[in-house]
Amino acid sequence: MFTKLSAAVDRLRSENSTPDQRAAQALKSREEAEEEAAEAEEQSRSELFHCQSCDTVYVATGKRTCSKCEGSVEQVRSTLRNR
Protein backbone atom coordinates (compact mmCIF):
# COMPACT_ATOMS: atom_id res chain seq x y z
CA MET A 1 0.00 0.00 0.00
CA PHE A 2 2.82 2.35 0.87
CA THR A 3 4.52 1.59 -2.43
CA LYS A 4 1.31 2.35 -4.26
CA LEU A 5 0.97 5.70 -2.48
CA SER A 6 4.51 6.82 -3.28
CA ALA A 7 3.98 5.82 -6.90
CA ALA A 8 0.92 8.06 -6.98
CA VAL A 9 2.96 10.92 -5.50
CA ASP A 10 5.65 10.39 -8.11
CA ARG A 11 3.02 10.59 -10.84
CA LEU A 12 1.60 13.79 -9.35
CA ARG A 13 5.04 15.35 -9.25
CA SER A 14 5.78 14.52 -12.86
CA GLU A 15 2.43 15.94 -13.96
CA ASN A 16 3.03 19.24 -12.20
CA SER A 17 5.78 21.67 -13.07
CA THR A 18 9.23 21.06 -11.66
CA PRO A 19 10.38 22.89 -8.52
CA ASP A 20 12.67 25.01 -10.69
CA GLN A 21 9.78 26.10 -12.90
CA ARG A 22 7.66 26.90 -9.86
CA ALA A 23 10.47 28.96 -8.34
CA ALA A 24 10.90 30.89 -11.58
CA GLN A 25 7.19 31.58 -11.72
CA ALA A 26 7.12 32.72 -8.10
CA LEU A 27 10.08 35.02 -8.72
CA LYS A 28 8.44 36.49 -11.82
CA SER A 29 5.14 37.20 -10.09
CA ARG A 30 7.02 38.78 -7.19
CA GLU A 31 8.87 41.09 -9.57
CA GLU A 32 5.57 42.06 -11.18
CA ALA A 33 4.05 42.76 -7.79
CA GLU A 34 7.00 44.95 -6.86
CA GLU A 35 6.63 46.88 -10.12
CA GLU A 36 2.95 47.47 -9.43
CA ALA A 37 3.72 48.61 -5.89
CA ALA A 38 6.33 51.06 -7.20
CA GLU A 39 3.82 52.45 -9.70
CA ALA A 40 1.17 52.84 -7.00
CA GLU A 41 3.69 54.60 -4.78
CA GLU A 42 4.57 57.01 -7.56
CA GLN A 43 0.91 57.78 -8.17
CA SER A 44 0.21 58.42 -4.50
CA ARG A 45 3.20 60.73 -4.37
CA SER A 46 1.75 62.94 -7.10
CA GLU A 47 -1.76 62.88 -5.63
CA LEU A 48 -1.58 65.12 -2.61
CA PHE A 49 -4.53 67.20 -1.52
CA HIS A 50 -4.53 69.99 1.01
CA CYS A 51 -7.51 71.32 2.93
CA GLN A 52 -6.98 74.99 3.65
CA SER A 53 -9.77 75.12 6.24
CA CYS A 54 -8.24 72.66 8.71
CA ASP A 55 -4.72 72.45 7.25
CA THR A 56 -4.85 68.72 6.58
CA VAL A 57 -2.96 67.03 3.78
CA TYR A 58 -4.43 63.91 2.20
CA VAL A 59 -2.80 61.33 -0.01
CA ALA A 60 -5.54 60.14 -2.31
CA THR A 61 -6.59 59.70 -5.90
CA GLY A 62 -9.06 62.26 -7.15
CA LYS A 63 -9.98 63.53 -3.71
CA ARG A 64 -12.34 66.50 -3.78
CA THR A 65 -13.64 67.01 -0.26
CA CYS A 66 -12.04 67.01 3.17
CA SER A 67 -12.99 64.11 5.42
CA LYS A 68 -12.81 66.29 8.51
CA CYS A 69 -14.66 69.48 7.59
CA GLU A 70 -16.14 68.43 4.21
CA GLY A 71 -14.61 71.50 2.67
CA SER A 72 -13.06 71.45 -0.77
CA VAL A 73 -9.44 70.32 -0.98
CA GLU A 74 -6.82 71.68 -3.30
CA GLN A 75 -4.47 69.38 -5.19
CA VAL A 76 -0.87 69.90 -4.20
CA ARG A 77 1.75 69.12 -6.79
CA SER A 78 5.35 68.23 -6.15
CA THR A 79 6.19 71.74 -7.41
CA LEU A 80 5.09 73.10 -4.03
CA ARG A 81 8.70 73.75 -2.98
CA ASN A 82 9.17 75.98 -6.05
CA ARG A 83 6.56 78.47 -4.89
When the beta carbons of 29 and 65 are compared against Zn ion, the nearer one is: 65
When the beta carbons of 64 and 81 are compared against Zn ion, the nearer one is: 64
CB 66 to Zn ion: min, Å: 3
At residue 18's C-alpha, the angle toward residues 15 and 23, to 5°, is 140
When the beta carbons of 8 and 71 are compared against Zn ion, the nearer one is: 71
Radius of gyration of the chain (CA): 26
Q: Is 51 in the site for Zn ion (CB under 5 A)?
A: yes
Q: Is 66 in the site for Zn ion (CB under 5 A)?
A: yes
Of the candidates 10, 33, 13, which has an alpha carbon nearest to the alpha carbon of residue 22? 13
SS3 of residue 58 by DSSP:
strand
Q: Which residues bind Zn ion (CB under 5 A)?
A: 51, 53-54, 66, 68-69, 71
